[in-house]
Amino acid sequence: MSKYPLPTLNLFHTFEAVARHRSFTLAADELCLTQSAVSRQIKTLEDALDLRLFRRLHRAIEVTAEGQRLFESVTRGLDDVSACLAALGAAAKAPQITVCASVAFAWFWLMPRLQRFGALQPDVDLRVLATDQPVLPGAGEVDVAILFGTGQWEGLHAQLLFGERVYPVCSPAYLGNHPELRRAEDLLDQTLLHLEYGKPSLGGVDWRTWLLRQGVNGQPVRRGLRFNSYPMALQAAEAGHGVALGWSYVTDPILADGGLVCPVDRTVETRDGYYLCTSKETSQTPGIRVFLDWINTEAKTKVDIRMTSGNTKHSE
């Protein structure tokens, strides 16, 4: 037995046109049918429903109360179907790209630039998947992944986006309250903000590594603060709670705007970098190629920061 025991659906289509026009003649013109064919279909529908849908007057018709209720219901249904088909057609025509990046990269670097991409490519449906558990292209729905590493991932086409520099950052107010903070060894007597998430997607450098690369072997004197989210660690630094490690792709613009300063003019350059990764099968797909070209152009526009005792200068 049919789930929907209804008369033939084309009868409802004809009924909607007649009820909307209040005319068999105008409905027939719209549907490219004869007036008699329209009249027969309405009669068939009324017999099937055992309802009177129209009152036939001398030179006009009126919709009955039952017909009006049916007209409203049929109109909603046809409107829904029409809207669904329009959306499906638009989705089929618009290129769809899903980009995966770490939470910090997506939040601080990619998101501020998305408006420019939308202005250049308004027809591209761009989806951003922010996760600190990287998903490789070709696995599921991801088309492009921004990964930190050596660039050697089996089965992937990887293109270097940029390398990475790591340096200490704090708020201008914090530096003003700690004028003794000038050298790398002075950091041992500061409140250090730790990121307890040392995965390579965030640069793979913690305070111990950074201090050892500066020749500092001691242990911090003060108890630090620990976070499992890089945005939280930076927010704590901007609020004046201590000194965090800044990854240049995130903190260069913040230094340029004066939200943070670099108290010690020393950096660590990571051996690895950030790579745009696609599956080898899709790397030359037109829609994906457009996105890759755009993001490479964005990466070339770098903020030049001069870090000298908390004073910053920048130029685009």
pLDDT digits (tens, 9 = 90+) for 43-89: 999 999 999 999 988 778 999 999 999 999 999 988 898 888 876 76
Q: Which of the residue ranges 6-10, 156-160, 169-173 has the most confident prediction, judged by mean pLDDT?
A: 169-173
- Considering the domain boundaries, does residue 54 fall inside one? yes
More confident residue, 2 or 246: 246
**pLDDT level of residue 139 (50, 70, 90 thresholds):** low
More confident residue, 5 or 235: 235
Mean pLDDT, residues 164-168 taken together? 92
Do 253 and 310 have their domain in common?
yes
Mean pLDDT, residues 289-298 taken together? 89
pLDDT digits (tens, 9 = 90+) for 271-288: 888 899 998 777 677 778
Task: Identify whether the C-beta of residue 107 lies closer than 8 Å to the C-beta of residue 231.
Answer: yes
Mean pLDDT, residues 151-157 taken together? 87
**pLDDT level of residue 304 (50, 70, 90 thresholds):** very low
State the Cα–Cα distance between residues 246 and 261, nearest whole angstrom: 10
pLDDT digits (tens, 9 = 90+) for 241-267: 999 999 988 899 999 999 999 999 999
- Considering the domain boundaries, does residue 28 fall inside one? yes
Do 87 and 119 have their domain in common?
no
Mean pLDDT, residues 135-147 taken together? 83
State the Cα–Cα distance between residues 69 and 56, nearest whole angstrom: 18
What does each C-alpha distance from 11 to 21, 45, 150, 229, 267 come to in angstroms?
16, 6, 65, 60, 76
Task: Identify whether the C-beta of residue 229 lies closer than 8 Å to the C-beta of residue 108.
Answer: no
pLDDT on residue 124: 83
CATH number at 48 reads 1.10.10.10
Number of independent structural domains in the chain: 2
**pLDDT level of residue 37 (50, 70, 90 thresholds):** very high
pLDDT digits (tens, 9 = 90+) for 89-102: 655 555 788 899 98
Task: Identify whether the C-beta of residue 239 lies closer than 8 Å to the C-beta of residue 170.
Answer: no
CATH number at 243 reads 3.40.190.290
Look at residue 35 and give its three-state secondary structure. helix
Do 252 and 274 have their domain in common?
yes
DSSP class of residue 118 equals H
pLDDT on residue 17: 93
Do 249 and 115 have their domain in common?
yes
The domain in which residue 252 lies consists of 94-316
